[in-house]
Amino acid sequence: MIIEQFNTKGAPGTEAIVVSFDLEGFSRFFMQQDVHLYVPDYLNTVLDSIHSIFRSERPYWLPENAKNWLGIPREPDFVKYTGDGGIYLWIASNENEPIPMSFKVSLITNLWILKTCFPAVTKKVQNLVPLMELPARIRFGVARGTVYGLRRGAMNETVDYVGFCINLAVRLQNYCRDIGFIASARIGIDESIAAKASWTKAVATNLKGLGKEIVFVDKDEFESIPAELRKDLFI
């Protein structure tokens, strides 16, 4: 087998919004007997719950008393699955057309709602997967920055992306399990808009390998974290 290398000339840097997600407890789930029979159904159901955000119809996991559903009418430009999670990228058309504020606000709002409503997804999965240990929660990290495409082949096709913001989104997704949803302030949301949506700023003080980062978190969730844990992770 010949392993094809990346082309030495990569794609130019482009602004992107990055979402990283992880399924808490997936390793325990995968250790169960005959789990390979059920992993496809499980992952397909979870991924469909995420992808329903990119469609206009009301998702099954949304509570009946929730307000009118506003999905995101734009699918990601790049998707990469990691076994127990995945990475989504939305890439700006060019430097003169940045990603709109309305899209960024809708994205983090709808992902946070899904994170909160994830027990409804688990309930649906239980009808397909007769196993005891199912992942309890889904976690999201969101960041913005410059990404660079890695290309292969004679057609110079972009097959993957690298960039600081991708690493940042992954670190944020795994930073505080008591919250489960953290967006970097680099995403560029106006503070007045964030306040209306009940998002508040904090400083994550100890991101592995990255140091400190200003972030947005849901105000109520942030205040519900035990004081000692909040002191260890944020200022």
Q: Does residue 173 contact residue 139 with C-beta atoms inside 8 Å?
A: yes
> 44-89: per-residue pLDDT in tens?
999 999 999 998 789 999 988 887 787 887 899 999 998 889 999 9
The answer as to whether 209 is a domain residue is: yes
- Tally of residues, the chain: 235
Of 232, 183, 185, 178, residue with least CA distance to 205: 232
> 170-216: per-residue pLDDT in tens?
999 999 989 999 999 999 998 899 988 899 999 999 998 898 999 99
| In the chain, % of residues over pLDDT 90 | 64
Q: How far is Cα 49 from Cα 59, in angstroms, rounded to an integer?
A: 7
Predicted pLDDT at 137: 94
Domain residue limits at 66:
14-233
The answer as to whether 9 is a domain residue is: no
Higher confidence at residue 162 or residue 28?
162
Q: Does residue 54 contact residue 72 with C-beta atoms inside 8 Å?
A: yes
- Region 157-174: what's the mean pLDDT? 95
Q: How far is Cα 30 from Cα 25, in angstroms, rounded to an integer?
A: 9
Higher confidence at residue 2 or residue 103?
103
**How many CA atoms lie less than 13 Å away from 104 in the CB half-sphere?**
25
DSSP symbol at 65? T
Predicted pLDDT at 1: 66
What pairing do the DSSP bridges indicate for beta strands 137-152 and 157-162? antiparallel
The answer as to whether 213 is a domain residue is: yes
> What is the DSSP code string of 84-145?
SEEEEEEE-SBTTBPPPHHHHHHHHHHHHHHHHTHHHHHHHHHTT---S----EEEEEEEEE
Residue 2 in this model has a pLDDT that exceeds 80: no
Predicted pLDDT at 162: 96
Predicted pLDDT at 88: 98
Q: How many domains does the chain have?
A: 1
Q: How many CB atoms lie within 10 A of CB 44?
A: 12
Residue 29 in this model has a pLDDT that exceeds 90: no
Name the token pair of 165: 């913001």
> 108-153: per-residue pLDDT in tens?
999 999 999 999 999 998 888 887 788 989 999 999 999 999 999 8
Q: How far is Cα 187 from Cα 190, in angstroms, rounded to an integer?
A: 10
Q: Where are the alpha helices (DSSP H) in the chain?
A: 26-30, 39-51, 101-116, 118-126, 164-173, 191-196, 219-224, 227-233
The answer as to whether 123 is a domain residue is: yes
Q: Rounded to two decimals, what is the model's pTM?
A: 0.93
The answer as to whether 8 is a domain residue is: no
Q: What is the CATH number of the domain that holds 46?
A: 3.30.70.1230
Q: In sequence order, what are the residues at sequence separation of 6 or more whose Cβ sits closer than 8 angstroms to the Cβ of residue 174?
A: 22, 139, 141
